[in-house]
Each structure stands twice: as C-alpha cells, then as structure tokens.
Structure 1
Amino acid sequence: MRVAAHQPNYLPWTGFFHKMANCDVFVILDNVQFPRRDFCNRTRIKSPRGAYWLTLPVVRGAFEQKINETRLFEPDTNLPRHLKTLHHFYARAPFYNFLIQKLLPIYEQSWEYLLPFNLALIKTLAAILGITTPLVLASSLGEPPAGKSERLIYLCQQLGADTYLSGRGAVAYNDPVAFAAAGLKLEYQSFTPPVYPQGYGIFIPNLSIVDLIMYHGSASQRFLCT
C-alpha cells in the first residue's frame, strides 16, 4: 500500500491533487507546526496583472502553534471577500458557475478553525476531479517521534504501508537509509505541472487547482495525468 502525506493547503495547486490521486491513503499533516508564509492559508490565482496571492488571515499564536490549532481571523468578513475576488477574476470563465456552486456552501458556513475549512474545500475539489483516495488526519494516528523522516515512517507503519510517496521538494531532508531500515520503499512523485488554456493573457504556471477547474470543469482530471 502506498501512502502520501501533505499539509492541508488552502485551495491547493495541481501537484497536490496529483499526489493524492497516485496513492492509496493520503495523510493530512494537521499536527505539524503551522508554516509561516507558506500555502496553508494562501494560494495563487490569476489576475489581469499576473499571479495574485489570495491569503486567509489567521490568528497568530505561539511559534509552535500547530495547523489544527490555527484559527481564522474574522472569517465572516474575509471569506466573503475571497468569494468576491474569485468572482472578479473568473466571472467570465466557462466553468465559473459550475465551480462557485460547489464552493459557495462551504464559504457560507460559519468556521472558526482553518483546518476544517481547508479540508471541506479539499474534499470538494477532489470530488470534482474524480479522486476517491481516503484522507486520514495524522493526529488520529497517535503521537509520532521527532524528526521529519521518523514522523513519516511512523505514519506509514500505523497504516500498514509498504511504500511512501514523497514530493520531490523533500529530497533534501528525507532519510533513505531510515526508510529502508523500516522496510519501506521511498518513491518520489513524478509530475509535470500542466499547461492548459487559461482564457486570457500569457500562461501562468503553478496556480491553484481552482484556476484549472474554472476553465476546464470536470475535464480538469485529464491534466493531472502528466
């Protein structure tokens, strides 16, 4: 069984869903430290002036604050603002109405914490893409040991996996010797970000999956096969 893991990003990019589609269980790393200036509370979409950062303000706690402890800041104001931004940049996209009808019930709910909000979005977007991989919260698997590789090995062992699928950005810190000693095969994601018609202007790569779905709807799934 192949396991992959990732932080619960906000409206993630295409590579996030490619990894999810290519494993048997996808672990949501909810009990790790909340990353500053990363993608847990922000994403990139397309504007007429280029890539635009769509950022969810959060309540900053202690330095060691975990993702599952992170609260949204004034969500009743900021979530509607994000909907307006999506409308402003994508209202003319062919699948705007299709996608916004899926997202609207989530944005209109009352949320206190970042994690459940992001999870609701991730599950909805995965369903649009036809991805049925089970999601498991890392916090539900017990307290892992210290160390990045040790944490991942522990999660794999708890789930009975024989293979861990890693993003290529983790090459610098994954310990292949530790994985091998644990009897785990360490594989790296093979993914080329898709190039697709974006509707206007020059193509901007590595945007949120929202950008792809706005222009290609459910057919977006075929772009994840690259």
Structure 2
Amino acid sequence: MKILLPIFYLPPISWFSFFVDPENEIIFEQYENFPKQTYRNRTNIYGANGKLSLIIPMNHNGTRLLKDIEVSTREKWQKIHWKSIKTAYQTTPYFEFYEDQLAEIYTLKTKSLLEFNLHAIKVIQKILKIEKKFTLTEEYIREPESLNYRNHFSAKEKIGVDLEEYFQSFSDKYGFLPDLSILDLICNKGPESLTYIKNIKFK
C-alpha cells in the first residue's frame, strides 16, 4: 500500500505507526507548499510545565516549496532545542542510554529543513532498529493515487487514535499527554517503543 506522508521534525508517535508498517510503501512529500504551524518545523515534548513546542525558525527567502525551505542560522535553535530535550528527559529511564545517538540529530550543519528532518528520522530509525526505505515525490500531485496523509496530522487538533498510556516524567502533575514527539516514547519506553507503535489502533 502506497502511503504519502509529510516530512516532520521528530514526528509524533502516530506518524510512526504508518511509517513502520511493513505493508506500507512510504513516499515523502517534498513538493508541497510549506504550511505554517505544523509539525514540519515543530515538535512537542513533555516539559516540566507540561507540553512544550520546539519550533525551528525559518529563513524567509521567498520560496514556498518544502524542499527549498531554509532554517534560520542566526538563532542557536539547535543548541536551545537539545538543551530543552535534555532538561525534559534526563530523568527518564532510557535517556542516558540513547543520549549520544539523539545528540547526533543536532550535529548536522545544514540550511535545509528537509535535510535536517530526514537526518533526524534516520537517527530515530537506528534507535528503533528499523530499516525502512522511502522515496521522495518528484512533483506535486493534488490528488495522488497513493493514500494521502499530507494533512492528516495536526499540531493543533487531536487525531482519532487510541494511545495506551505509559509513564511520563511529569504525568503526576499534568497527566498523560498523548501523541507527543517520538522522543517522548523512546525516552520512556526504550526497547519497547517499536512494539508500542505497532499496537496503535486508529478509530
């Protein structure tokens, strides 16, 4: 089954349920016009004060295509994001185990949002121990033949998915926060993360 997926920054857990499914042939959309306020340049983690959005600042160079979008080099966002992640997850059961691999995400020097996101996804693949191949679109097709999930995941609205609760570091204060970045699952569930993803049920 061909699945057209958006390319996100450290995607939410539900995104990975489509990505890791062996029945799915994954195609990443790179020719879409860049939509604002989406997971394409933001990810949600569980901070000490609840949900925390990490947003990659854009360099407004006039382009609209996702594949040409550049990230800002003026702000030290990579350093800030990594510090926020360490602060949020350093007390989780598996952060120390994966810390060096996760740090690799923020060593990449690139102006390309697309390149950075793909690099981050590949790092996560290594952690999850999955070798999932994918292709990139060669043009924008308004009504593709493949299943279109370009607009399926919203950074603002809940999607119809049942996620089993698991322990999160600050859940005693704010309760369980579902469908955060894949980082949240990895740091809290470790080697059980892939099994958790495969068991996700959509409504």
Q: TM-score, normalised by structure 2?
A: 0.84
Structure 1 residue 192 and structure 2 residue 162: aligned?
yes
**Cα distance between partner residues in 2 of 1:167 and 1:223:** 23
Q: Which amino acid in the other structure matches residue 103 of structure 1? A: L
Structure 1 residues 166 and 9, CA, compared in 2 at 3 Å: closer, same or farther?
closer
Alpha carbon RMSD of aligned pairs, Å? Answer: 2.4
Structure 1 residue 113 and structure 2 residue 109: aligned?
no
Where in structure 2 are the equivalents of 1:3-152 lying within 5 Å?
3-22=2-21, 23-62=23-62, 65-74=64-73, 77-139=76-138, 143-145=139-141, 147=142, 149=143, 152=144
Aligned 8 A contact 1:14 1:193 in 2: no
Aligned 8 A contact 1:24 1:133 in 2: no
**Cα distance between partner residues in 1 of 2:164 and 2:76:** 34
Paired residue secondary structure (1:79)? helix
Q: Which amino acid in the other structure matches residue 129 of structure 2? A: G
**Which structure is higher in RCO with an 8 Å CA cutoff and minimum separation 6?**
2
Where in structure 2 are the equivalents of 1:194-209 lying within 5 Å?
194-201=164-171, 202-209=175-182
Paired residue secondary structure (1:128)? helix
Q: TM-score, normalised by structure 1?
A: 0.76
Larger Rg, first or second structure (1 or 2): 1
For residues 62-82 of structure 1, give each alpha carbon's deviation from its aligned partner in whole angstroms, at most 9, with x where no partner exists. 3x6111101110277110111
Q: Which amino acid in the other structure matches residue 198 of structure 1? A: Q
Identity of aligned residues (%): 24
Structure 1 residues 194 and 129, CA, compared in 2 at 3 Å: closer, same or farther?
farther
Structure 1 residue 214 and structure 2 residue 184: aligned?
no
Aligned 8 A contact 1:12 1:209 in 2: yes
Q: Which runs of 5+ in 2 are unaligned?
A: 154-159
Count of aligned pairs: 190
Q: Which runs of 5+ in 1 are unaligned?
A: 157-163, 171-189
